[in-house]
């Protein structure tokens, strides 16, 4: 029986295409065959059978080497598998086999990325990326974890998973695995190698890199010094607004008696982290090369910290219509095709000492276990904690080594060989200091990075410049892989916290609920304690006064909550705890716009005496209200404008409820105005290294010592950063910047010089009027003169791109492999967090990568959705079969119990013991 779908209250039903999935899949197959023949076929003949050869077998039976008994794989109408086995080894062996069936191309690309071996698949264009990844040493650290740190039971599960993947690969050519291999084979003789357990472990390093904290802010603060004063930079990085946006944990402290975190303890004085001396202002603009390099590395993963967030919250049963806890989660990541997540159930037919798992949720292809989900006793969710776990260090280097406390210390070096498809091998030398690898070695520009960085008199001679080292907690072996299995087996809050204590990187907010009615939260992670400084700017690597203490913040001192009196817990990348907490977790929190909106929605239900339902949780996930619009629109409506066309669009804001629906003309216009407010007030004053490519303006020279009145003394500067990473990005940090100066009509940020025919701007209202005019003409160019046809969704579009050939392959192949566009509602700082970059445009660059609402204890009434579908095969019926429903805010019924799974099963495959 097909799985049911449920739309949130107030949501329109998904539009029907009128075409059956099978017919659509056949058409896609034909398109691909034509694309391959015409675009990259070089005269080769491609048949439909070639495309279909990699489709997985989902019915009947297959012998699987190594099994101790038969395993059943039951798939529903969306291709989501539920696996039933009698031992742990059989369960994870089958998981490896099934994930390889659906997603091996994705798995293979991921492991090549994490090991710095993309050039083996895609040629010389990936050498620089590989060199940088080899320098970071993800694969090397993962190997150390596997060899020396991970629990034996974890390694057995990894080995079983590996055997399942390799059983699927056995005897298959590339074209038998996915159509991408068939296309790649036209230009490359690449053959997939066997899977290795360390391939799975290394993927956690990639996720840690994606969620590494404030490195980009550290770089940006440094770049800003070429244009802005220390005071101005501080204004662009305001303090967290604790007075209006609640942190996750609003009470408790590290007890002076026990030395552990106590939710009932009173906080002490603020820690008052000291800003480092000697590198407090920027590196020179060559640091932008490091920024560019960092932006390139996770192109297969998503954006680099900017915008990455998530929502999760849990409500106690005393406030729910079900009487059980309800838990919601939607992690925000870059849109990918296939989705980062793979839905799956892992069931022991009888839970025992030899078969310990009965869990379901969202997995990573290429890694055993469930990352986010529930078992029969507890449910859990993740959001990015945002802890500052990276620091950049300036290093004084020579051929002999690096300077440290007045002495020259030798580098730790290693040589790596990068194999290049269709080209010669490349050899690189990786140098490391006591502060980590020299990331500046990977760029010719960065060889002299730090040439203009202000330093104290005690700093070593600058010479040809300083190098840059990266210190990062994920470059030390850890036990995060152990934590995955421990979470899957956890029975209560005690075992949940024990699992969390091993979840070292990436540092995540973990929320919890159990069948006994308890709810909780834990902040885990390997978070450094700095000897000096606050991690907001690069530090001097030549002094032992800086760096990190040997041990990170003890887990027992990290904040947690258990059954808080308010009856709910919200995490959405806001501050974890007040600024009087003993330790510094970061100086760069999200600013709490989304989290406070969720808090307000829940609290209003409680205050009104309404019990919160599963539908309510789902509706909250789709909330698209713009908080900044609620503040600015009353002002914008009162701005005096002379242009008739601008007055026409100004009227769109009258009566608008600040909800950013996809069909809203008012949302389109407001977001256009917001974009231009940011560009006029801030963007045009930032250095070119931070502005979007193609954004060219006339500015004073960077070394100007005074105002320039004549235009012929201005210089034309064009932005250098990718549009989806440029500043000001329009996130809630920028909302807070604007709110801090909103009542100051004559603040310097509102002023701009006259350029060309544009008159000077001298006040807030003048800038708002100019922004309204600029938005009117930009949207006219994009959407047409008739404002009755305008809609936010026409500007704010999502296109799903195949993560390799769909981004860098021939155009005709990209058109065949990619899907979309879809018109979306939501916005950058809305709960329905469909992110866009105000500096670069309106297109969607990050999204809720999945959504789930878990009905704790009554598991079969839970709901879930993925961004795309279960399959990574481009023309499978399950490639993007969940996307239309995801767009409309619908969720699928989530079967967990055996009877419910049987009822929803459409295909059953038996994996048999040989």
Gap between the Cα atoms of 914 and 170, Å rounded: 15
pLDDT digits 0-9 by tens, 814-847: 777 899 999 999 998 999 999 999 999 999 999 9
Question: What letter does residue 492 receive in the DSSP assignment?
Answer: S
Q: Of all residues in the chain, what percent carry a pLDDT higher than 70?
A: 85
pLDDT, residue 206, reads: 84
pLDDT, residue 452, reads: 39
pLDDT, residue 465, reads: 60
Is residue 775 predicted with pLDDT exceeding 60?
yes
127 — phi, psi (to 5°)? Answer: -60, -45
The residue ranking higher by pLDDT, 293 or 503, is 503
- Tell me, rounded to whole angstroms, the distance of Cα 65 from its chain centroid: 37
Gap between the Cα atoms of 838 and 843, Å rounded: 9
Task: Please name which of 481, 489, 484, 496 lies closest in space to residue 314, comparing C-alpha atoms.
Answer: 496
pLDDT, residue 462, reads: 45
Where is average pLDDT lowest: 355-369, 705-719, 733-747, 751-765? 705-719
* Token pair of 433 as six digits: 């200091």
- Region 571-585: mean pLDDT is 96
Order of strands across the sheet that contains 390-395: 467-472, 390-395, 539-540
Q: Of all residues in the chain, what percent carry a pLDDT higher than 90?
A: 72
Is residue 807 predicted with pLDDT exceeding 60?
yes
Where is average pLDDT lowest: 42-46, 133-137, 244-248, 425-429? 42-46
pLDDT band with cut points at 50, 70 and 90 for residue 706? very low
Instruction: Say how many CA atoms lie within 13 Å of 853 toward its Cβ.
Output: 27
**Which one of 39-43, 331-335, 660-664 scores highest in mean pLDDT?**
660-664
pLDDT, residue 52, reads: 72
Task: Please name which of 554, 579, 457, 459 lies closest in space to residue 504, comparing C-alpha atoms.
Answer: 554
CA distances (Å), origin 128, targets 118, 219, 430, 433, 611: 10, 20, 13, 21, 55
Is residue 20 predicted with pLDDT exceeding 50?
no
Is 36 within 8 Å of 183 (Cβ atoms)? yes
pLDDT band with cut points at 50, 70 and 90 for residue 49? low
Is residue 372 predicted with pLDDT exceeding 50?
yes
pLDDT digits 0-9 by tens, 93-145: 999 999 999 999 999 999 999 999 999 998 998 898 899 999 999 999 999 99
Cα pseudo-dihedral 254, 528, 209, 232, rounded to 10: 90
List b or e across 82-101, with b for residues whose CB sees 16 or more CB atoms inside 10 angstroms.
bbbbbbbbbbbbbbbbbbbb
Gap between the Cα atoms of 107 and 364, Å rounded: 9
Is 757 within 8 Å of 804 (Cβ atoms)? no
Cis peptide before 506 (omega within 30 of 0): yes
CA distances (Å), origin 477, targets 32, 140, 526, 761: 43, 9, 11, 54
Gap between the Cα atoms of 662 and 796, Å rounded: 8
* Token pair of 528 as six digits: 């450094």
pLDDT digits 0-9 by tens, 597-610: 999 999 999 999 99
Cis peptide before 728 (omega within 30 of 0): yes
pLDDT band with cut points at 50, 70 and 90 for residue 267? confident
pLDDT digits 0-9 by tens, 495-524: 999 999 999 999 999 999 999 999 999 999
766: part of which helix (H) or strand (E)? Answer: helix 764-783
DSSP state letters, 609-626: TPPB-HHHHHHHHT--B-
CA distances (Å), origin 731, targets 725, 787, 835: 12, 26, 8
pLDDT, residue 537, reads: 84
Pairing of the two strands 378-384 and 372-375? antiparallel
Close Cβ partners of 413 (under 8 Å, ≥ 6 residues apart): 429, 430, 431, 432
pLDDT band with cut points at 50, 70 and 90 for residue 205? confident
- Region 786-814: mean pLDDT is 86
pLDDT band with cut points at 50, 70 and 90 for residue 294? low
Is 666 within 8 Å of 653 (Cβ atoms)? yes
Is 279 within 8 Å of 455 (Cβ atoms)? yes
pLDDT band with cut points at 50, 70 and 90 for residue 283? very low
Gap between the Cα atoms of 519 and 380, Å rounded: 10
Where is average pLDDT lowest: 47-56, 242-251, 551-560, 738-747? 47-56
- Region 148-154: mean pLDDT is 98
pLDDT digits 0-9 by tens, 217-258: 888 888 888 899 999 999 999 999 999 999 999 999 999 999
pLDDT, residue 287, reads: 59
* Backbone φ/ψ region at 567: left (φ over 0), alpha (ψ -120 to 50), beta: left
- Region 538-564: mean pLDDT is 95
Is residue 699 predicted with pLDDT exceeding 60?
yes
Is 227 within 8 Å of 685 (Cβ atoms)? yes
pLDDT band with cut points at 50, 70 and 90 for residue 269? low
Q: Which residue has the tokens 């060219």?
A: 696
Gap between the Cα atoms of 600 and 625, Å rounded: 12
* Token pair of 590 as six digits: 């999200």
pLDDT, residue 840, reads: 95
The residue ranking higher by pLDDT, 715 or 10, is 715
Residue 476, Cβ neighbours under 10 Å: how many?
15
Instruction: Locate the DSSP E strands across 307-435.
Output: 309-315, 326-333, 341-348, 358-364, 372-375, 378-384, 390-395, 397-398, 401-404, 407-409, 412-418, 426-433
Question: What letter does residue 761 receive in the DSSP assignment?
Answer: B
List b or e across 819-843, with b for residues whose CB sees 16 or more CB atoms inside 10 angstroms.
bbebbbbbbbbbbbbbbbbbbbbbb
Gap between the Cα atoms of 315 and 711, Å rounded: 59
101: part of which helix (H) or strand (E)? Answer: helix 88-114
pLDDT digits 0-9 by tens, 397-420: 888 999 999 999 999 999 999 999
- Tell me, rounded to whole angstroms, the distance of Cα 333 from its chain centroid: 4
Instruction: Tell me what the pLDDT averaged over the chain comes to.
Output: 88
pLDDT, residue 42, reads: 37
pLDDT, residue 709, reads: 46
Is residue 19 predicted with pLDDT exceeding 80?
no
What angle (nearest 5°) sits at the alpha carbon of residue 61, between those of residues 57 and 65? 100
pLDDT band with cut points at 50, 70 and 90 for residue 296? low
**Which one of 65-79, 186-200, 223-237 scores highest in mean pLDDT?**
65-79
- Region 779-795: mean pLDDT is 98
DSSP state letters, 351-366: -SSS---EEEEEEETT
pLDDT band with cut points at 50, 70 and 90 for residue 459? low
pLDDT, residue 293, reads: 62
Is 527 within 8 Å of 389 (Cβ atoms)? yes
pLDDT, residue 691, reads: 95
Is 913 within 8 Å of 74 (Cβ atoms)? no
Task: Please name which of 274, 109, 80 lies closest in space to residue 864, comparing C-alpha atoms.
Answer: 80
194 — phi, psi (to 5°)? Answer: -65, 155
Cis peptide before 338 (omega within 30 of 0): yes
Is 153 within 8 Å of 161 (Cβ atoms)? no
pLDDT digits 0-9 by tens, 617-638: 999 999 999 999 999 999 999 9
Is residue 153 predicted with pLDDT exceeding 60?
yes
Residues in the chain: 914
DSSP state letters, 625-670: B-HHHHHHHHHHHT-----HHHHHHHGGGTT--SB--TT-HHHHHH
Gap between the Cα atoms of 509 and 515, Å rounded: 21
pLDDT digits 0-9 by tens, 882-895: 999 999 999 999 99
pLDDT, residue 758, reads: 85
Please state the pTM of the whole predicted model.
0.92
480 — phi, psi (to 5°)? Answer: -60, -30
Gap between the Cα atoms of 604 and 647, Å rounded: 36
Instruction: Locate the DSSP E strands across 482-592.
Output: 508-514, 519-522, 539-540, 560-562, 568-571
Gap between the Cα atoms of 863 and 360, Å rounded: 12
pLDDT, residue 290, reads: 63
């Amino acid at each position: 029986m097909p799985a049911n779908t449920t739309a949130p209250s107030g949501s329109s039903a998904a539009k029907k295409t009128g075409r059956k999935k099978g017919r659509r899949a056949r058409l896609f197959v034909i398109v691909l065959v034509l694309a391959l023949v015409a675009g990259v076929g070089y005269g080769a003949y491609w048949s439909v059978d070639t495309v279909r050869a990699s489709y997985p077998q989902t019915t009947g039976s297959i012998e699987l080497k190594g099994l101790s008994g038969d395993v059943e794989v039951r798939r529903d109408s969306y291709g989501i598998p539920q696996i039933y086995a009698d031992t742990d080894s059989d369960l994870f062996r089958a998981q490896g086999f099934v994930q390889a069936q659906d997603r091996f191309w994705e798995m293979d690309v991921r492991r090549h990325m994490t090991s710095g071996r993309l050039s083996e698949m895609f040629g010389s264009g990936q050498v620089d990326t590989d060199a940088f990844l080899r320098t970071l040493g993800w694969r090397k650290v993962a190997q150390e974890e596997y060899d020396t740190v991970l629990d034996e039971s974890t390694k057995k599960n990894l080995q079983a998973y590996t055997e399942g993947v390799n059983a699927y690969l056995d005897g298959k050519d590339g074209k038998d695995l996915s159509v991408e291999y068939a296309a790649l084979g036209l230009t490359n003789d690449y053959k997939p190698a066997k899977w290795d357990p360390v391939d799975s472990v290394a993927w956690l390093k990639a996720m840690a890199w994606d969620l590494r904290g404030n490195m980009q802010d550290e770089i940006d603060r440094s770049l800003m010094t070429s244009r802005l004063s220390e005071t101005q930079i501080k204004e662009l990085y305001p303090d967290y607004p604790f007075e209006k946006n609640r942190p996750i944990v609003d009470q408790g402290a590290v007890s002076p008696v026990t030395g552990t975190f106590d939710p009932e303890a009173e906080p002490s004085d603020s820690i008052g982290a000291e800003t480092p001396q000697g590198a407090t202002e920027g590196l020179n603009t060559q640091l932008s090369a490091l920024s560019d390099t960092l932006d390139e590395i996770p192109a297969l993963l998503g954006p680099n910290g900017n915008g990455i967030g998530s929502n999760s919250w849990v409500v106690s049963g005393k406030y729910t219509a079900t009487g059980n806890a309800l838990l919601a989660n939607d992690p925000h990541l870059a849109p990918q095709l296939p989705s980062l997540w793979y839905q799956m159930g892992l069931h022991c037919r009888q839970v025992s000492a030899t078969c310990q798992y009965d869990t379901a949720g969202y997995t990573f292809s290429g890694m055993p276990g469930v990352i986010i989900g529930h078992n029969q006793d507890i449910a859990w969710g993740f959001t990015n904690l945002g802890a500052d776990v990276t620091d950049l260090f300036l290093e004084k280097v020579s051929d002999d080594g690096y300077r440290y406390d007045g002495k020259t210390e030798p580098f730790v070096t290693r040589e790596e060989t990068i194999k290049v498809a269709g080209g010669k091998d490349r050899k690189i030398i990786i140098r490391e200091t006591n502060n980590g690898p020299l990331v500046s070695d990977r760029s010719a520009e960065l060889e002299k990075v730090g040439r203009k960085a202000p330093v104290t008199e005690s700093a070593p001679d600058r010479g040809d410049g300083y190098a840059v080292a990266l210190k990062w907690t994920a470059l030390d072996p850890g036990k995060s892989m152990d934590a995955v299995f421990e979470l899957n087996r956890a029975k209560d809050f005690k075992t949940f916290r024990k699992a969390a204590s091993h979840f070292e990187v990436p540092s995540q907010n973990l929320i919890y609920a159990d069948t006994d009615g308890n709810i909780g939260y834990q902040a885990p992670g390997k978070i450094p304690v700095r000897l000096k400084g606050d991690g907001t700017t690069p530090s001097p690597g030549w002094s032992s006064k800086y760096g990190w203490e040997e041990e990170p913040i003890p887990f027992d001192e990290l904040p947690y909550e258990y059954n808080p009196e308010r009856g709910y817990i919200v995490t959405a990348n806001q501050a974890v705890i007040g600024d009087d907490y003993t330790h510094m977790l970061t100086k760069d929190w999200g600013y709490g716009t989304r989290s406070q909106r969720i808090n307000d929605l829940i609290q209003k239900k409680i205050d009104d005496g309404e019990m919160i339902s599963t539908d309510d949780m789902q509706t909250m996930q789709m909330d698209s209200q713009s908080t900044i619009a609620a503040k600015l629109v009353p002002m914008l409506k009162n701005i005096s404008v002379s242009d008739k066309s601008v007055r026409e669009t100004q009227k769109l804001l009258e009566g608008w409820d600040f909800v950013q629906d996809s069909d809203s003309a008012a949302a389109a216009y407001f977001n256009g105005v917001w974009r231009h407010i940011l560009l006029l007030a801030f963007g045009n004053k930032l250095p070119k290294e931070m502005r979007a490519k193609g954004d060219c303006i006339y500015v004073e020279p960077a070394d100007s010592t005074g105002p320039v009145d004549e235009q012929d003394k201005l210089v034309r500067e064009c932005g250098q950063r990718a549009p989806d990473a440029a500043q000001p990005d329009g996130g809630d940090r920028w909302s807070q910047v604007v709110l801090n100066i909103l009542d100051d009509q004559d603040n310097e940020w509102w002023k701009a010089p006259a350029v060309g025919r544009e008159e000077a701007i001298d006040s807030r209202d003048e800038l708002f009027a100019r922004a309204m005019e600029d938005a009117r003409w930009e949207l006219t160019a994009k959407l047409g003169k008739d404002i009755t046809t305008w809609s936010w969704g026409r500007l704010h579009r999502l296109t799903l791109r195949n993560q390799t050939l769909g981004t860098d392959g021939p155009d005709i192949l990209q058109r065949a492999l990619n899907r979309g566009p879809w018109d979306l509602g939501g916005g950058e700082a809305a709960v329905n967090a469909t992110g866009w970059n105000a500096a670069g445009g309106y297109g969607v660059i990050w999204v809720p990568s999945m959504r789930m609402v878990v009905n704790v204890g009554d598991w079969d009434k839970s709901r879930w959705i993925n961004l795309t579908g279960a399959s990574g095969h481009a023309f499978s019926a399950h490639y993007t079969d969940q996307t239309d429903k995801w767009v409309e805010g619908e969720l699928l019924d989530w079967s967990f119990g055996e009877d419910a799974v049987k009822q929803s099963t459409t295909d059953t495959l038996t994996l048999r013991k040989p």
